[in-house]
């Protein structure tokens, strides 16, 4: 796998090595050994999958300590714009984001460390989205930043008339009204 570093330390794009022939393709979607060597040591404990239609936007989600999660995400059908926002107070990249298109064609994966809010927008008619988490979901630790916060400068590539949000995702605060539970000293990788 090839690791593509982004403008924010710890947030990386992963491109698998794909083998194709007349039968189709094959690639190794995850190797703990290689991930630990090339990205960071992570012990993923839960896999999740969602299916969404065009215009669905999910996020920007995170879990508060001590239930924080790092995520390794990918789109196995369709395409999405996936985004990680740095929410560590005092970080030189606080409030900045990395956006990447993930699709069934490019097979890219996106690693979102702890201390980041995560969300995506569905750009195709349907998208099946999978992600690994390094901590179990804890509903009492749910947190979020408004996915509609224009101060973040995210081009979601979705017509506002097409946007579909859950009721929960309409209630997250703007970044300016948010008191982050993370700071610059927060260890992105420790459990």
Catalytic-role residue among 97, 107, 118, 131:
131
Write down how long the chain is: 191
Q: Concatenated DSSP letters for 101-161?
A: EEETTT--EEEE-TTEEEEEEE-SSEEEEEEEESS---GGGEEE--TT-GGG-----S-GG
Catalytic-role residue among 30, 61, 137, 172:
61
**107 has catalytic annotation:** no
| E strand or H helix at 62 | strand 57-63
Instruction: Confirm if 122 and 56 have CB atoms less than 8 A apart.
Output: yes
Radius of gyration of the chain (CA): 16
**61 has catalytic annotation:** yes
- Give me the residue label for tokens 């999405």: 80
Instruction: Confirm if 147 and 169 have CB atoms less than 8 A apart.
Output: yes
Q: Which residues are marked as active site?
A: 61, 131
């Amino acid at each position: 796998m090839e690791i593509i570093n982004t403008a924010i330390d710890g947030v990386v794009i992963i491109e698998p090595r794909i083998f194709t022939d007349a039968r189709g393709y094959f690639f190794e979607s995850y190797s703990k050994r290689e991930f630990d060597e090339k990205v960071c040591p992570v012990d993923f404990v839960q896999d999740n999958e969602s299916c969404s239609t065009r215009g669905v936007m999910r996020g920007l989600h995170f879990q508060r300590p001590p239930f924080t999660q790092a995520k390794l995400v990918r789109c196995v059908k369709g395409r999405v714009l996936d985004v990680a926002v740095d929410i560590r107070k005092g970080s030189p990249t606080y409030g900045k984001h990395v956006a990447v298109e993930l699709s069934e064609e490019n097979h890219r994966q996106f690693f979102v460390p702890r201390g980041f809010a995560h969300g995506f927008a569905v750009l195709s008619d349907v998208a099946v989205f999978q992600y690994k988490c390094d901590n179990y979901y804890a509903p009492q630790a749910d947190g979020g930043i408004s996915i509609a916060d224009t101060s973040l400068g995210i081009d979601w590539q979705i017509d506002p008339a097409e946007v579909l949000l859950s009721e929960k995702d309409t209630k997250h605060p703007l970044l300016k009204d948010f008191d982050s539970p993370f700071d610059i000293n927060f260890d992105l990788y420790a459990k």
